[in-house]
Structure 1
Amino acid sequence: MNEILNYLKECGTFYLATTEGDQPRVRPFGAVCEFEGRLYITTNNQKKVFNQMQKNPKIEISAMNKGTWIRLEAEAVWDDRREARAAMMEDNEASLSRLYSVDDGIFAVLYLKNATATIFSFTSEPKVVTF
């Protein structure tokens, strides 16, 4: 999992896909962290993306870095614990502190469950990591 965490951090921006009914929805994300051995992402609990993940937790993440690209399939599980929000804020303070505070009521974190990440390149076989 640490390899995937580092990959996403190096990318800076990654793209998260959800569904709304039968329509795919994709948007850029940028904050990720590890907490209690799990990979976490964050969003605002007032956004459509949060509601989409609550209705259908199956997501995909994609990003590209240094001639490779990743496809990460997982289920996003909301973690409402303050400790999880604090860990995300601490690890991403520069980008998140202007948007959220740990106890603002809108800062939501979700961990990735049943995750399979595949890193692809044009020069080698795909590498698969499950966590």
Structure 2
Amino acid sequence: MSDIQKIDDFLERAEVFYFATTIGDQPKCRPFGYHYLEDGKIYFTSATFKDVFKQIQANPKVEIAAYDGDKFLRYYGTAKIVKNDRVVQRAFEELPELKEIFEKFNFELGVFYIDNATAEIRNEMSIEESYTFKY
């Protein structure tokens, strides 16, 4: 199993993870759930009109925190916004209600991954595993 697959599997076990951005000097954190591993990268999505997407554009430094019932994950780095129609199509296949809303209101689904990233799997006291990802 590759290192990035380990991180994707952790997010899958956690089901909901928390995605943090900043606006000025104020951190903002919200629950996320959708992620998709393709070509050695974990992709995330957000509507381009949402504050989270605008915050990524203004300051791409981001962090994810997740808990799988046993261990914690910290996954942080620089969000890279990309065009990836396969990820959008996959999101719409997995979440058809999302597709209906986006088509009805002509919304755009933005896609990004985390580059120059560090992922740490931690127990209560220390880091058990650490990985870096540069694309």
**TM range, normalised to the smaller chain?**
0.7 to 0.9
Cα distance, 1:51 vs. partner?
0.3
Contact kept? 1:88, 1:109, Cα under 8 Å: no
Cα distance, 1:88 vs. partner?
3.9
Alignment of 1:27-66 (within 5 A): 27-66=30-69
Write 1 or 2 for the structure with the bigger share of helix: 2
Counterpart residue number, 1:3: 6
Cα distance, 1:67 vs. partner?
1.8
Counterpart residue number, 2:121: 119
Counterpart residue number, 2:98: 99
Q: What is the CA–CA distance in structure 1 between the aligned matches of 2:115 and 2:91, rounded to whole Å? A: 17
Asked if residue 85 in structure 1 is aligned to residue 88 in structure 2, the reply is yes
TM-score by length of 2: 0.84
Cα distance, 1:126 vs. partner?
2.4
Q: Which moved more, 1:44-53 or 1:114-123?
A: 114-123
TM-score by length of 1: 0.86
Q: Which moved more, 1:119-128 or 1:13-22?
A: 119-128
Cα distance, 1:128 vs. partner?
0.3
Unaligned 5+ residue runs, structure 1?
none
Q: What is the CA–CA distance in structure 1 between the aligned matches of 2:91 and 2:116, rounded to whole Å? A: 20
Q: What is the CA–CA distance in structure 1 between the aligned matches of 2:60 and 2:19, rounded to whole Å? A: 12
Contact kept? 1:100, 1:106, Cα under 8 Å: no
Over the matched positions of the two proteins, sequence identity in percent amounts to 35
Contact kept? 1:79, 1:110, Cα under 8 Å: yes
Unaligned 5+ residue runs, structure 2?
none
Asked if residue 109 in structure 1 is aligned to residue 108 in structure 2, the reply is no
Q: What is the CA–CA distance in structure 2 between the aligned matches of 1:97 and 1:70, rounded to whole Å? A: 29
Cα distance, 1:46 vs. partner?
0.7
